[in-house]
Structure 1
Amino acid sequence: MIGKLEMLIALAQERHFGRAAESLGLTQPTLSTGIRQLEDQLGVKLVQRGSRFGGLTPEGQRALVWARQIVGDTRRLRDEMRYSREGLSGHLRLAVIPTALTWASRLAHGFALRHPNVDFTIISRTSAEILELLENLEIDAGISYLDNEPLGRVTTELLYRETYSLFCRPDHPLADRDAVDWADLDGIDLCLLTPDMQNRRIINRRFMEEGLSPRAAMVSNSTVVLVNHVMLGGWATILPTGHADFLATGHELRTIPIQQSDAGHAVGLVAAYQEPHTPVLGSLLDAAAELASGQGER
C-alpha cells in the first residue's frame, strides 16, 4: 500500500505517467498497474485517464492528502527505528533560496562534523518552490524567508535577518560611498534577480516605498550571472550583505551597505510541521538555532 501511495504522490507531482515512473525508478506499465491496484483497493477512481494524464479526480485529490500524511508518517517511523539501531544517521534534503546558500553550507558543514553518518543534498530553489517541495515530501527542510509571505503550517528556526548592499566595481560612480540610500540607486544600471524570486519582490517593495521605479535591464535567477555582469563593467546589483561579501571575496568589487530603518526580513530553516520531529530533523533545527545564536547577518 505504501508503495502505491508513493506512486500517487509522484503522479500528482509530475502530472505525467512517464516522468512519474522515471522519478520512482519504475517502468510506466508498473506505475499504471500500481495506480489501478490502488483504485481497486480504495474502490474509487483516482485518476482521469485519456490519451494522457488528465488530472486527479475529486476522490484522487482527497486521497492525495492522506497519501502525503501516511507516507510522511511512514518515513518518520523508519527514521525513528534507524535512530534506535544506528544513532543519528540518514540523508537530509535541503532546498535553499539562492541568497542563503552560504548559510546552508555552513549549517550542513557544522552538522556533518558532529554527525558524520548524516549525508546532505542541497539544491537552490525559489521560496514558492521550497514550500511545494515540502508539501510533496521531496525535501526534508528548506531555508527561506520567514516573515514576508505566507508559509502555511510549518516549523521554523531563525538563522539571520537580511540586510542589503549595493554590489559594484571600484570604478562605479557610487563605489566611493561608505553607505547609500535606496533613493541613490534610482537611474543607475541594475541587474537583478528575476521577479519569481522573493528577494526581488522585497527589493521592488523597497523602491516602491521610496516612490522609485528603477529598471533592471538584465535579470537572472542566478547570483553568479549577476556578479559576472557587474565584473564586466557599467552595472551594479543589489544583494543581501552576507552573500555579497562572500561573492566579492578574491575580486576587486565593492559591497556598499544600503541604509534601512528596520532590522530586515527573517531568513531561516523551514520544515513541515510535525510532532514529534524525527531525531535527524530535530537535531538540524537545534543546529540552526545554535548557528544563529548571537550572530547577525553575515
Structure 2
Amino acid sequence: MLFRQLEYLVALSRERHFARAADLCRVSQPALSEAIRKLEVELDVPLVRRGRTYEGLTPEGERIVVWAQRILADRDALKDEVDALRTGLGGRLRVGSVPTASGAVSLLTGPFCVAHPLVTVEISSDLQAGDILRRLRDFDLDAGLTYLHEELPDGFRTVPLYDERYVLLTTVTATAGATAGAGAGVDGSGQRPTATWEEAAHLPLCLLSRAMQGRRMVDGVFEEAGLRPEPRVETDSVGTLFAHVRTGRWASVVPHAWLHVFGVPPGMRALPLVEPARTVPVGLVTVAREPESVMARALTDLAQEVDVAGALERLPDTP
C-alpha cells in the first residue's frame, strides 16, 4: 500500500492536477485523493495544499516527493536486478537525448536490444540538457545523451561517445552560387569540399530555436568568427531543418551525426564547416548512485564497448 501511495504522490507532483494524476495512475480521482490523505495521516504531516483546486505541495510534501522518487526507483532497480539474475535483463530502458544527439541514439539502443532481447526502450529525443539532468535526478530517466563541454554537477557519471561537428547543409545549386569565388579550394570534381562559417552566415538560414543548447553552440561559433546571422526560419526539429533545405530556399547548419539518419538527400550537399573548425563532446550521462540501476549499468557497459565515434566518422560529408 505504501508504494502505491508514494506513486500517487509522485504523479500528483508531476501533473499538478488531481484528475490528470489519477488518469496517469489509472485510478479514480477519489481513490487517489484518499490514498494521499491516508499517507498524510501515517506521516502526520500535510503534503498537499488544498483549496477549490490543487494549489501545490507543502514544503513537507516537496521533501517527501524526493524520498518517494528514490524509494520507487530503488524498488524498480531491485526488481530489475532480481529479474536479470533469474531470466536475464528485462523491463524498460528510458533514455533522454538533446535533439542534436538523438540521431546517434540508435547506435547504442540497437546493439543494446540485441544483447537484451527482453528489454523495451523508451526514448525522449527532444529534451533540453537541463531537463535531462533534472529527469535523471527525479529517476524519470535511466540515461541521457547530452553535451559534456561543461562540468556537470556532482552526482552524475559520464561516458564520452563522440565529438559533435557541424556541416553546412544546402542544395548543390545554392552552394555553387553562394561560394563562387570564395577562398576555399575545390575538390577533383570542381566542387567545394568545405565551407566557412562566414559563407554560411550570408545564406538564407534555417536553424534550431534559440532556446536549444544546440543552437547556442552554433551561435557561439558564429560569434567567435565575428558573425551574427539572422535565420529566416527557426525550429526545434532537426528533421524540419532537412525538410526546409530540401525546398532549395534555405541552408542550415546541422550536426554531422544526423547524416547517420538522413544521409545526404539527392540534390543536396553537406560541407564540413571550417574557419573555425569546432567540435563539442557528447556523451552518455547516468546518475551516480549505489547500488546502480541495472538498466543504467548495462547501457553504460555497452557504451564503453561500442565505437559510436568511429561509426559517425565513417559517414560521408557529401553524396
Alignment TM class, shorter chain as reference: over 0.9
SS at match of 2:226: coil
Question: Which runs of 5 or more residues in structure 2 are unaligned?
Answer: 180-190, 314-319
Aligned residues with identical type, % of pairs:
36
SS at match of 1:162: strand
Deviations 1:113-149 (A, max 9, x none): 1221122122212223222322332222111112247
Deviations 1:9-42 (A, max 9, x none): 1111111111112222222112111111111111
CA-atom RMSD in angstroms: 2.1
- 1:68 is displaced (CA, Å) by 1.6
The 5 Å alignment of 1:88-237 reads 88-126=89-127, 127-148=129-150, 150=152, 153-172=155-174, 173-174=177-178, 176-237=191-252
Residue type at the aligned position of 1:201: R
Equivalent of 2:280 in 255, 265, 268: 265
Residue type at the aligned position of 1:64: V
- 1:151 is displaced (CA, Å) by 5.0
The 5 Å alignment of 1:68-87 reads 68-87=69-88
Deviations 1:234-265 (A, max 9, x none): 21111111214642344321100012667621
| Distance change in 2, residues 1:50/1:38 (3 Å) | same
- 1:168 is displaced (CA, Å) by 0.5
| Distance change in 2, residues 1:293/1:195 (3 Å) | closer
| Distance change in 2, residues 1:20/1:152 (3 Å) | farther
Residue pair 2:70, 2:139 contacting (<8 A) in 1 also? no
- Aligned position for 2:47: 46
| Distance change in 2, residues 1:182/1:249 (3 Å) | closer
Residue type at the aligned position of 1:24: C
TM-score for both structures, normalised by structure 2: 0.87
Q: Matches of 1:174 and 1:290 in 2, distance apart?
A: 42
Q: Matches of 2:79 and 2:173 in 1, distance apart?
A: 57
SS at match of 1:131: helix
| Distance change in 2, residues 1:251/1:199 (3 Å) | same
Residue type at the aligned position of 1:25: R
Q: Matches of 2:226 and 2:276 in 1, distance apart?
A: 16
Residue type at the aligned position of 1:96: S
Residue type at the aligned position of 1:43: D
Residue type at the aligned position of 2:165: T
Q: Matches of 1:279 and 1:68 in 2, distance apart?
A: 17
| Distance change in 2, residues 1:293/1:121 (3 Å) | closer
Looking at CA atoms only, which structure, 1 or 2, has the larger radius of gyration?
A: 2
| Distance change in 2, residues 1:149/1:171 (3 Å) | farther
- Aligned position for 2:65: 64
Equivalent of 1:276 in 291, 300, 318: 291
Residue type at the aligned position of 2:145: I
Residue pair 2:178, 2:203 contacting (<8 A) in 1 also? no
Q: Matches of 2:154 and 2:52 in 1, distance apart?
A: 36
Q: Count the aligned residue pairs.
A: 298
Residue pair 1:155, 1:271 contacting (<8 A) in 2 also? yes
Q: Matches of 2:209 and 2:158 in 1, distance apart?
A: 25
Q: Matches of 1:11 and 1:54 in 2, distance apart?
A: 11
Residue type at the aligned position of 1:138: D
TM-score for both structures, normalised by structure 1: 0.92
The 5 Å alignment of 1:13-32 reads 13-32=14-33
Q: Matches of 1:249 and 1:29 in 2, distance apart?
A: 55
- 1:294 is displaced (CA, Å) by 6.6
Deviations 1:189-225 (A, max 9, x none): 1101112221001111111222211111211111111
Q: Matches of 1:66 and 1:211 in 2, distance apart?
A: 49
Q: Matches of 2:262 and 2:193 in 1, distance apart?
A: 19
Q: Matches of 1:292 and 1:41 in 2, distance apart?
A: 51
